[in-house]
Amino acid sequence: MRASVPFRVGLTGTVAAGKSAVARRLAAFGATVIDSDELAREVVRPGSAAFREIRDVFGEDVIGSDGAIDRAALAGAVFGDDEARARLERISHAGIRELRARRVAEATAAGERVIAEEIPLLFEVGLDEDYDMIVAIDAPAEVREGRARRSRGWSPERFAAVDAAQLPASEKRRRADRVLDNAGDPERLDQAARELWEGILAAARTRDADAAAGAEDDV
């Protein structure tokens, strides 16, 4: 039955807009969250095919003292080099897609109602059609730059370069089904996330009702 199919939400948005903060709140409401960052770490775990290829391509300098990929060093190795970044994406993206499909299948088998997937480059990699709803999380550039500096140690130049490499905020907002602005007030974010959750549940009910009506028409 269509009602057993989870309602899939793609969480995307601009750099350091607070996608993970929104995802945590949705998880507290009952969503199953799939984090692309976690999938990316799993794909390149020591001993994996992606790990070996990254080591062969980028050298031992991107391997940390613990034997795992040093994500900061790897990011530095591809920063400002479009060819190197594209090569890294080719190595990792197939594995990430496979893991994401596995997580979705597991959540479906478990009867989960809503799956929220954090995918920063959702539009850029052409995943628009995979979701029942796409939510773009955004914040003013100066707020995002401050977050990136505090939480990631980025310089203003690095933030500007990473931000410029993605679709403009205006385009992400235009293409999303819903936009959540996260300028930094936790209480406002709590309220916005709750309203988003209520909107997700309402949209899921509408989708399932439409599917049920369509099934009756086919009888």
All structural domains of the chain: 1-30+122-219 (3.40.50.300), 35-112 (3.40.50.300)
Rounded to whole angstroms, the Cα distance separating 74 from 92 reads: 13
Q: What is the pLDDT of residue 172?
A: 97
Q: What is the pLDDT of residue 2?
A: 41
End-to-end CA distance of the chain: 14
Q: What is the pLDDT of residue 135?
A: 98
Q: Is 18 helix (H, G, I), strand (E, B) or coil?
A: coil
Q: Which residues are bridge partners to 179 per DSSP? A: 136
Q: Is 2 helix (H, G, I), strand (E, B) or coil?
A: helix
Q: What is the pLDDT of residue 3?
A: 44
Q: What is the pLDDT of residue 111?
A: 94
89 contacts 52 by C-beta, under 8 angstroms: no
Neighbours of 167 (CB within 10 A): 17
For the whole model, what pTM was predicted? 0.87
Element (H, E) at 181: strand 178-181
CA angle (211 as vertex; 205, 215 as ends), nearest 5: 145
Which residues in the chain show pLDDT less than 70?
1-3, 216-219
Closest residue by Cα to residue 201 from 58, 71, 31, 60 = 31
Rounded to whole angstroms, the Cα distance separating 217 from 219 reads: 6
Q: What is the pLDDT of residue 113?
A: 95
Q: What is the pLDDT of residue 80?
A: 78
Q: Which residues are bridge partners to 135 per DSSP? A: 11, 178
Q: What is the pLDDT of residue 1?
A: 37
pLDDT in tens, 132-162: 999 999 999 999 999 999 999 999 998 998 8
